[in-house]
Each structure stands twice: as C-alpha cells, then as structure tokens.
Structure 1
Amino acid sequence: MIETITESIDDFLSRHVTDRLATDVERIVRAAAAAEITPRFRQLAAHEIEQKSAPHDLVTVADKRAEEYLTRELPALLPGSVVVGEEAVAADPTTYEALRGSAPVWIVDPVDGTRQFVHGDPGFCTLVALALDGVVLASWTYAPALGEMAVAVRGRGARLDGELLVAGSPAPGEDLRIATSHPDYTTDDQKRALLGLRADGFAPRPCGSAGLEYLAVARGALDATAFSWELAWDHAAGLLLVEEAGGAHLTGAGVPFAVTGGNVLPFTAARDAATARRVAGALSAGA
C-alpha cells in the first residue's frame, strides 16, 4: 500500500505540480494579498477585528476576504481539488476532514500572524500548501509587508525570491536559537516539555508568525522551532520549506510531523536532522 501511494504521489507531482502551476499559485497568492490584505494593513477599523475562541485568537476582515479569494481561485488550477482554510474550518470544523480524503487539498492560512497584522507589525504572511494523501507536495509563503515570497516543491528544492534556500547547520558551540510556542497555546504537560529547552545549549524565545519562523529556519537565521499545536494551515507550508532546504522535523514520538494530525506534541523543525534530534530529546527530557 505504501509503495502504491508513493508511486501515485510521484506521478501526481510529475503530471500536475509543474512550473506553470507553481507560477500560477504564486500569482494568485500575490493577487489575494494585494486585493484584500495589504490595503488593510495599518488601516483596520475596530469593527473589522473580531475575537474567536480566546483573547489571543483574532480574525479580521482581511483574513476572511483573502481566504474567500484563495478558495475561489485555487481549485480552478487543479480540477477536483478542495480547500481547507482556517476561517472556513472555524465556521464548520467538519471541513478539516478533507485533509484525510483522497482529493488534492489546498491548505490555506490567509493571514498567519494575525496578531502582528492587527498591531501593524510587518511579521505576517499568507500560507498555501498543496497536499495529497497527507503528503505536502508544494508550498508558498508570502510576506507582503516584507516583500518576500518563498516557494518549495517536494524533491525540487526551496527558493526565496528565486534564490535557492539552504538551511545549513548551526554553528558549533553556540546556543541553539529556538522559536517556541507562546505559553497561552500550551497545556501543562506541554509547558513541562518546553522547560527542557531551559537548559545550557539552548536559547528559546516565543514565536511570532509560524510561517515566518519556518522561513527563518530554512534560510539559516533560526536553528529550530518547538511548537505545541498541530493545525495544518500553520505548519504544512513551512515544514516542506524546511525539508526542501535540507532540514528535518520530529514529533515527540520520534517520527516526522503528519499534517493529517495525531502527532505527539510538542514537535520540532530544525536546520538539520542532528539538531532536530537534539531538540526533540530535550523536549522529551522536559516532559
């Protein structure tokens, strides 16, 4: 069964995930941001910002309209594909189940880093990933306020504004720079696991936009992440970006993160496999 799925994915990659598709998705992502996000940056009215399930969980009119734009345009590029978007799932949680279906899935986070966006901080991005059978095949990370676009295709590398990304390895002897989940997003057990990073050799800090933290790992500006939640739209695009830049990711079970869920948390993504093992080990020790 695994061989059959692998062959099917390889065939899908070669036939459908073409340079033309990558370019078309990039165009649509840029257009969605230009139409619905950038004009509202530092221009939001109070009534255009809402609180979702918790005080730190915000949504804006830009999130909603950008997702509507992407949901309208992306499936037309790949007939039979479906969209799993953060705001659509907030309205109807059953739509998340499409990640476990047989159709190709566009995984969309219209504004990753909504808190930053609301506060006028340029550290936010739009995330789009294409997955099949739980395998992420391509991803787009666009930071409109920073003017950066990162694209990754499985087996073909990752690029930032056209330049190849190489994560490299951390400098020997230096503390590992790690972006970690904010305490507001963690359970008591996860807090204990993250305490494993409060040790010699680690330099943890709270994370910002997950998508931009993954980009920082992929470009070698950050050594690792340690996250305690598994919503696919926050991680799918960035994890492929890190993989294709030469990095690795591991859950608390010692296996790679699965976008379909059921992961042992927290998990890490790192510049190389050795660093991923080191961070995962520290998280296990903390737990």
Structure 2
Amino acid sequence: MTSIIDVGALASLLQDAAIQEIRPRFRKLGAGDIRAKSEPTDLVTEADEAAERHLRRAIALLAPDALFVGEESVAADPAILHGLADAELAVVVDPIDGTFNFASGIPAFGVMASVVWKGETVAGIIYDPMGDDWVIAEKGSGAYLRRPDGEATRLAAADPAPIETMVGMASTGYFYGEVRERVLGNLAKVRFVASYRCAAHEYRTFSGGHVHFAMYNRLMPWDHLAGTLIAQEAGGHVARFDGSAYLPHHVDGGLLVATDEDSWQMLRREILGV
C-alpha cells in the first residue's frame, strides 16, 4: 500500500537527525549528558533528547495532522501514549534505540519511525546512523534495505530450521521470577542466542535472514512497531505470546518473531513452555 505519509521523506528526516544531533555526540558525551530513567541500564542522553526535538519539529512540517509519539516525549508526558489507540494518524519515533550502547561507545544503535493509520502500522523505517542505510517496509509492499545512492535490496527472512540449529535474539531482561528461569533454561535448546541490546539491529538482522527468531517481553511502540512490520514484510510470523496479533496500542503480552508460523508455534512451546 502507499502510506498516508511520504515514507521516503520520513526516512530522510531520520538521517538528518542522525547527522545533526546523534553522530556528532557519539563517544563525546560528558558525564552530565547521560541520565538513568527507570533503572541504571535504562538511559537517556542529550543526543536522544536533541534528536527527538529535531524529529518532532520536522515531522510536524511533513505531517501536521499526525500525533507525534516519541519515547522521550512520553517519558515527560505519559498521556501522549494513551492517545495512540484513538489517533487516526500517528508517527511513532525512537530517536536512539540502543541508548545503552550509544552511551557506552558501542556503534550498535538505530533511529526508528513507524506510521500508524487508523490503529494499524502501515510503514516502518529503521535507520543505521553508522552504516548510513535504511531498512524500510510499507504494508503489503515488502521489506527493503535502501542505501543513500538509491540501491534497494529486497529482504527475506531465513528458511525454517530445526530448533537445535536455530540462531536467535532474546531480550530476557524483562522476564522475572520463575518465568525468567524457565525461559533462560529453555534457550539452551537452540544453537546460539544473543542480545544486541538494540531492537533496531535485531530486527534488521532477522529481516535480512541472518537469525531465525527474536523474542521480547517488554513492548513499547517505539521499540517494536517498525521492526515487526519489516519482519512481517520480509516473510516472518509475528504474534504476542498468546498468539494474538500485535497492535500499536499493546504494551504487554510479549512478542515472538519467527521465520514462519510452524517455527513460531515450536518456539512458543519449547522456549516459553506454554
């Protein structure tokens, strides 16, 4: 489908924010430029806030009727998030996904944006400031890696594989208690599991066919709307842990991304134990 917003223009805005506000601050943050939010590993930096201000101003010109939902804006005013379910048009932004990596000087972070139209994600963009390229999807049109010179490569999820040979991504930090113990133990059934501490790069890796699954328990729209649409357009199967569809207003219920529905069901059974 053709998005209600010019997705190419939106992609360029993510690049502009990175060039002006993010890359110049990488490995140059002072002690006062980094702060903890909900816990010591949940960080915000001067770059996050400056990039979001830049994007909010630019998106207001590109799509003046859209509700702007940014991670840092919601941190300041949680009521913004509640408006997402009823907004006819919204743009959801993560100015720096992988802030812990960015603040640590690790070049694995991304800028993400998604377009939500009448309660459905219709476009998703993940920009890599260090690699200077985008992974982009519009609903029903496939997922593509796009480079600044205009070259575009269609993305496809990996072929299904037996669980013992699967390679995947699992963010286990927001599992707790007995569930955490069960999930961590069951992940020993796969060949290899990792976490980049950056959903942007994990979704890029999945959609490029390099891993067989990704799993998350904490759902915030700026972390997952763009990536799940891209994963689906690359041929993957995405659902919450109970099998229901993941929608823009969901903030709980877990999320499992797999190469196909049969693999999804197997991972749910063998890893989640449900």
Aligned 8 A contact 2:85 2:119 in 1: yes
Match of 2:171 among 173, 178, 181: 181
- Equivalent residues in 2 for 1:148-159 (5 A)? 148-159=133-144
Q: CA separation in 1, counterparts of 2:251 and 2:218?
A: 11
**Which residue identity lines up with residue 273 of structure 1 in the other structure?**
E
Q: Counterpart in 1 of 2:149?
A: none
Task: Return closer, same or farther for 1:196/1:172 CA change in 2, 3 Å cut-off.
Answer: same
Scaled by the length of structure 1, the TM-score of the pair is 0.87
SS of the residue 1:198 aligns to: helix
Does residue 136 (structure 1) correspond to residue 126 (structure 2)? The answer is no
| Structure holding more helix per residue | 1
Deviation, structure 1 residue 283: 3.8
Task: Return closer, same or farther for 1:43/1:202 CA change in 2, 3 Å cut-off.
Answer: same
Q: Counterpart in 1 of 2:219?
A: 230
SS of the residue 1:155 aligns to: coil
Deviation per CA, 1:237-283: give whole Å up to 9, x if none: 10011001011112121122222116423x21122222222222224
Q: CA separation in 1, counterparts of 2:54 and 2:182?
A: 39
Mean alpha-carbon deviation: is it higher for 226-235 or for 162-171? 162-171
Aligned 8 A contact 1:105 1:132 in 2: yes
Q: Counterpart in 2 of 1:36?
A: 21
Task: Return closer, same or farther for 1:75/1:282 CA change in 2, 3 Å cut-off.
Answer: farther
Match of 2:240 among 251, 260, 266: 251
Q: CA separation in 1, counterparts of 2:3 and 2:94?
A: 26
**Which residue identity lines up with residue 128 of structure 1 in the other structure?**
A
Mean alpha-carbon deviation: is it higher for 203-212 or for 92-101? 203-212
Root-mean-square deviation (Å): 1.9
SS of the residue 1:212 aligns to: helix
Q: CA separation in 2, counterparts of 1:55 and 1:41?
A: 20
Task: Return closer, same or farther for 1:182/1:253 CA change in 2, 3 Å cut-off.
Answer: closer
Does residue 107 (structure 1) correspond to residue 103 (structure 2)? The answer is no
Q: CA separation in 2, counterparts of 1:103 and 1:196?
A: 43
Aligned 8 A contact 1:158 1:244 in 2: yes
Q: Counterpart in 2 of 1:279?
A: 267
Q: Counterpart in 2 of 1:10?
A: none
Does residue 47 (structure 1) correspond to residue 21 (structure 2)? The answer is no
Q: Counterpart in 2 of 1:167?
A: 157
Q: Counterpart in 2 of 1:70?
A: 55
Q: CA separation in 1, counterparts of 2:265 and 2:183?
A: 15
Deviation per CA, 1:87-136: give whole Å up to 9, x if none: 01111111101211133111110000001101111110000000123211
Task: Return closer, same or farther for 1:15/1:262 CA change in 2, 3 Å cut-off.
Answer: closer
Q: CA separation in 2, counterparts of 1:211 and 1:89?
A: 19
